[in-house]
Structure 1
Amino acid sequence: MTEPITVDIWSDIACPWCYIGKRRFEAGRAAFAEDPSAPEVTVRYHSFELAPDTPVDFDGSEEDFLVAHKQLPADRVKQMLAQVTDIAATVGLTYDYDRLQHTNTVKAHELLHFAADKGRQLEMLERLMSAYFTEGRHVGRIDDLAELAAEAGLDRDEAAQALREERYLDAVRADQQQAAAYGINGVPFFVIDGAYGVSGAQEAATFADVLRQVAENREASSVDA
């Protein structure tokens, strides 16, 4: 049986382009899978913090944060948020920056590692991103995260305990160290079969083409061998 193609994705829950990239990658993966001879694709998400110095309870809006963090004028930030909101809508996402609660994401990343151990990382990531960008939920506090874990099919108390104990913090830091080793300084970033890097929220067709190229390269290598 053909080994699955592995796709390792570095992203941050608070990254609007990561959610868009997630949707586009999923569409590209689905298009690739339409070929009955295509290998399976295994997806693993990895931690990347865009703003690790953000407080858990940030006092202000997303616009306030970006004005201070990016040192950009407010009018430019408004334009940026409107643009990304429009692009998100093209992949079926409804961003609501008026309700969004900006926060530190390290605990959310710990929760994703907990979910991965339980075989529900993809479900947990979707729940976190939807909660953050479309529902105005808080994704930085342990109790709020435990509630979202339960909504993703995980045990609420077990998730909360893992977060309190920082059981997965080392795993988060290991992901960040690997990102640095790869030279990743922006997300989303996709590493396919450990050899091919794709940066940014590319179109679905681009992801499908890359997966096909990887499969073709594998086939050619096996013939040469």
Structure 2
Amino acid sequence: MNKKIRVDFFHDVICGWCYVLSPRLRQLAKEFNLNIHHHAFALSASREEMLGKFGSMKQAKQIILGHWEQCARADDKKRVNVEGMHQQTFEYPFSTPGLVACKAAEQQGGSSAYWDYFDAVTHAHMSENRNIGDLDELTEIAGEVGLNKARFLEDFASPERQAEIQRDRKLAQEYDITSTPTLVINKGCVVPGALDINALRKTLKEVATKV
């Protein structure tokens, strides 16, 4: 399997299933010759959008943490801390700050820095129950993964980050993607949801025979 398989990974920093899937994809990247491209897909781009969906921020948190319970059962290493987030008093974060932060990380270290930051920020959110809607917290996470914090803040503030997110959204629309996580393999095979590693390995093997 020498020829690279392209995988477009559409995800959100507040998506529990994305947190569950990412380490599985990392494992398979070692087994297959994967060329992974990361794309932001905001489930709730703003506080106003969350209010429109859920009615109140309190209700949003309650409903979303119900989804967390499903993610906790599915996570291979049982990292999801549902009770810890119930105890936090800050509003449940919306998508955009964390996604902009991932794009800012990418400016310093390319795709690998994006992925490292994505994994760190989702872990901070779902396991450590930190407020990833707060810029100070996002900047601390940048330092934790070895990024220059001053450069991170500069890149975070650039309007180009929002333009990058909009380009990702447009690409998602071209593939009719409506949820996260979703993988697109070799620009054709759309795989929604957090498949278990064996099912995903089987899919990749099938694709590999065709390249």
**Common fold: TM-score over 0.5:** yes
Q: How does 1:48-63 map to 2 (within 5 A)?
A: 48-54=41-47
Please state whether the residue corresponding to 1:98 is helix, strand or coil.
Answer: helix
Q: How does 1:37-116 map to 2 (within 5 A)?
A: 40-54=33-47, 64-66=59-61, 80-88=67-75, 90-96=76-82, 97-99=85-87, 102-116=92-106
Q: 2:138 aligned with 1:132, yes or no? A: no
Q: Which runs of 5+ in 1 are unaligned?
A: 71-76, 219-225
Do the aligned residues in 2 keep the contact of 1:103 with 1:138 (CA within 8 Å)? yes
Do the aligned residues in 2 keep the contact of 1:28 with 1:205 (CA within 8 Å)? no
Please state whether the residue corresponding to 2:199 is helix, strand or coil.
Answer: helix
Greater Cα radius of gyration, structure 1 or 2: 1
Aligned equivalents of 2:182, 2:131: Cα separation in 1: 25
Q: Which runs of 5+ in 2 are unaligned?
A: none
Please state whether the residue corresponding to 1:44 is helix, strand or coil.
Answer: strand
Give 1:9 shift: 0.6
Aligned equivalents of 2:20, 2:201: Cα separation in 1: 16
- Between the two proteins, the alignment pairs up a number of residues equal to 199
Q: Which has the higher helix share?
A: 2
Could you tell me the percent identity over the aligned residues? 21
Q: How does 1:101-180 map to 2 (within 5 A)?
A: 102-117=92-107, 118-119=109-110, 120-180=113-173
CA offset digits 1:132-167 (Å, max 9, x no partner)? 101111212322211111111111011111212333
TM-score by length of 1: 0.78
Please state whether the residue corresponding to 1:9 is helix, strand or coil.
Answer: strand
Do the aligned residues in 2 keep the contact of 1:13 with 1:128 (CA within 8 Å)? yes
RMSD of aligned residue pairs (Cα, Å): 2.7
CA offset digits 1:18-68 (Å, max 9, x no partner)? 1112233334444xx1xxxx5x1122211111112326xx9xx9863155x
1:168 to 1:80, Cα distance in 2 relative to 1, 3 A? closer
CA offset digits 1:178-212 (Å, max 9, x no partner)? 11121101110001111111110011011111111
1:81 to 1:3, Cα distance in 2 relative to 1, 3 A? closer
